[in-house]
Amino acid sequence: MNGPVEEKETGRIEAFSDGVFAIAITLLILEIRVPHLPAESGPSALGAALAGLWPSYVAFLTSFLTIFIMWANHHAIFRLVCRSDARFLYTNGLLLLLVTFVPFPTAILAEYLERPAAPAAAAFYAGTFVVISVAYWLLWQAAIDGRRLLRSHVTEEMIADFTKSYRLGLPGYLIATGAAFVNVFASIGICAALAGLWIAVSRHG
C-alpha cells in the first residue's frame, strides 16, 4: 500500500479506461452504413447517396467530439489522482459502462434524424449524456472525498474550479433533452455547444 504500488494501480485503471474510450470512439464509424445502389448507378448517384448520409455524419461528429472531451476530462481527473479505492474503481466502471453505450444512441439518432420519430431519438441521445453527467459528478466526488486519493500538490482552488465546471453538464444536457421535443436540431446543437464550451474552458484552464 506504499506510493509506487498505488501509482501502478492507477496506471492500469487508466490503461483500461483509455482502451475503452479508444474503442468506443472508433466503433462509431461502424454505424455509418455503405449505401447500396443499383449496379448501373453512376458517380453522381453515389455522390448524392454519400451526401444523403448527413444525419449519420452529424451523429458521428457530435458523438466523437463528446467522447473525445469525456476522455480529455477523464485524463484531467486522473492527473490529480495518485491512488485508488473500491469506490473510485467502481464509479469509474459505471462511467465506462456509459461510454461503451454511446454508439447505440448515436446509431438511433442517425437512423431517425430525418423521420417523424426524431424527437424520441434526440431525447434518447441527449438523455444518455444526462446520465453520463451524473456519473462524472460521482467520479469527481469519489476522487476528492477526504483528499485521500489526490496528489499532494492539488490545491482547494483547483478542486473548486473543477467542481464549478462540472456544474454546467447536468443542467445543460437536461435542457438538450427537453429541447428534443421542440426542435431536434436545437437539441443536438446544445450537445455540440456544451462540448465546444468545455474546450473553451479547458483552453484557458
Among 52, 54, 117, 147, binds a copy of itself (CB under 8 A): 117
Contacts to a copy of itself from residues 67-106, by CB under 8 A = 68, 71-72, 75, 78-79, 86-87, 89-90, 93, 96-97, 100-101, 103-104
Q: Does 54 bind a copy of itself (CB under 8 A)?
A: no
184: its cell numbers: 431536434
| Of 42, 155, 156, 157, the one binding a copy of itself by CB under 8 A | 42
Of 3, 44, 156, 182, the one binding a copy of itself by CB under 8 A: 44
- Spatial distance between the Cα atoms of 136 and 156, rounded to a whole number of angstroms: 19
* Residue 105 CB coordination number (10 Å): 20
Q: Is 175 in the site for a copy of itself (CB under 8 A)?
A: no
> In whole angstroms, what is the distance from residue 149 CA to residue 145 CA?
8
Contacts with 160 (C-beta within 8 Å, 6 or more apart), sequence order:
none
Contact flag: residue 28 with a copy of itself (CB under 8 A): yes
The residues, any chain, with a CB within 8 Å of residue 173's CB and separated by 6 or more, are 126, 127, 129, 130, 132, 133, 190, 191, 194
φ, ψ at 145 (rounded to 5°): -55, 115
Q: Give the contact letters, 135-154, x = binds to a copy of itself (CB under 8 A), - = no.
A: --------------------
Per rule CB under 8 A, is residue 124 in the interface with a copy of itself?
A: yes
Cβ distance to a copy of itself smaller for residue 31 or 171: 31
Integer Cα distance of 3 and 6 in angstroms: 5
- Whichever of 75 and 167 has its CB closer to a copy of itself, that residue is 75
Of 59, 81, 95, 118, which one interacts with a copy of itself (CB under 8 A)? 118
